Amino acid sequence: MVTFIQQLINGLTLGAVYGLIAIGYTMVYGIIGMINFAHGDIYMIGAFHSLIVILVLGFFGITWVPLALVFVLVIAVSLTALYGWAVERVAYRPLRGSTRLAPLISAIGMSIILSNSVLLLQGPRGKPLPLKTESQFAAPFQLVTQDGISAQITDKQIMIMLITVLVMVGFTLLIKRTSLGRQQRACEQDMKMASLLGVNINRTISLTFVIGAALACIAGLMVTLYYENIKFNIGFVAGIKAFSAAVVGGVGSLPGAMLGGMLIGLIEVFFSAYFSVDYKDVAAFGVLVTVLIFRPTGLLGRPEIEKV
């Protein structure tokens, strides 16, 4: 029971990260129907931006976590969002309207460019978080204790879940209530019609990438704080798992992306706790295949209607 609760908490934390990345995939897929392979590397760039901002803040003597977090959220998130914009502008916009595979190859190329430039610029070694978090955070809360083992939740995990909930609320309001969100949804349903009605398509698509990159950066920040060590190649695995999460939840559905993320996170954590750590990724992909076979449009996806 204790193990179960502990793994549940760990799984939800990991799932929150996957979910935030998955939203970027699902939004882009929903609006222009391409797999943005570089999105995982945008997340990696976000993690590096967060780490570097924390490092520089430490140099100026700002080590109080809440203040540092505000700085990171403003600087790192806006710079990473700019990366999302630039990648779309450089590698995808010239290819809009060509074959379906062209932007995919361009995206794979972009992913290679991003991860290898970070490898060359920042070195191949893992980067430890420069913030001494032990002194800043209180001891973990004991939730349930049984036979001397207790399930605990740390401040960081609470923070990650809190940030995720806040970001999701803000993001849902953005999509549901603002005119920007309306334009985004209109483009998703029918781009040609939206453009006839005066929606600026290019701007809307760019903003989709910007929002996706911003969310990926928040995920990157959380991972940096949580694992306290990042590397140039973390984008690939997180990226394909987040994309799996988006597909499991139903591509194009925003709550689906979060649900899928949570599901993949939980399965990964439970599988490594009860069966085998080595094969946790096999379990995650196994779930993906199973879901697709029985519900080809994902858990919350709308069934595709085919017109001839």
The verdict on 91 binding another protein (CB under 8 A) reads: yes
| Of the residues 17, 22, 110, 215, which one makes contact with another protein according to CB under 8 A | 110
Site string for another protein, 235-274 (x = CB under 8 A): -x---x--xx--x---x-----------------------
Q: Using the minimum distance from each CB to another protein, give the nearer residue, 64 or 285.
A: 285
Judged by CB, which is closer to another protein: 58, or 181?
58
Provide the H-helix boundaries in the chain. Answer: 2-32, 39-59, 65-87, 101-122, 133-136, 155-177, 179-189, 191-196, 201-227, 234-249, 254-274, 280-294
Is position 108 an interface residue for another protein (rule: CB under 8 A)?
yes
Verify binding: residue 113, another protein, rule CB under 8 A. yes
Query: Which listed residue (5, 104, 161, 201) binds another protein by CB under 8 A?
Result: 104
| Residues 108 and 240 sit within 8 Å (Cβ to Cβ) | no
- Whole-number Cα distances in Å, 81 to 21, 26, 88, 167, 211: 13, 16, 11, 15, 7
- Give the one residue of 60, 61, 125, 179 binding another protein; rule: CB under 8 A: 125
Residue from 3, 94, 144, 200 touching another protein (CB under 8 A): that is 94
DSSP string for residues in 265-283: HHHHHHHHHHT-STTHHHH
x/- letters, 23..42, toward another protein (CB under 8 A): ------x---x-x-------
Can residue 122 be called a binding residue for another protein (CB under 8 A)? yes
